[in-house]
Amino acid sequence: MTNERDLGKELLKQNGIEPGALPDDPRKELRAMIERDKKRVTRMKWATVVALSLVLLLF
């Protein structure tokens, strides 16, 4: 969890935004976007595992 917080802070710094400088609403939007992207990555991971498993079963 600490690595994720550090990563978030570093990404904000790279975009020229101080981590404590954002008001609450944009932070909520950013958190929602990050959560959506995490879910998307998880779906893609499972789709890849299923696809590769099918390929291995066929050969």
Domain boundaries, the chain: 23-59
pLDDT of residue 44: 98
pTM above 0.75, yes or no: no
pLDDT of residue 2: 67
CB count, 10 Å around CB of 44?
10
**What mean pLDDT, rounded, does the chain reach?**
85
Q: Report d(CA 36, CA 38) in Å as an integer.
A: 5
pLDDT band at 22 (very low <50, low <70, confident <90, very high): low
Which residue has better confidence, 21 or 58?
A: 58
Q: What is the pLDDT of residues 23-54, one digit of tens each?
A: 667 788 888 999 999 999 999 999 999 999 99
Which residue has tokens 């710094």?
13
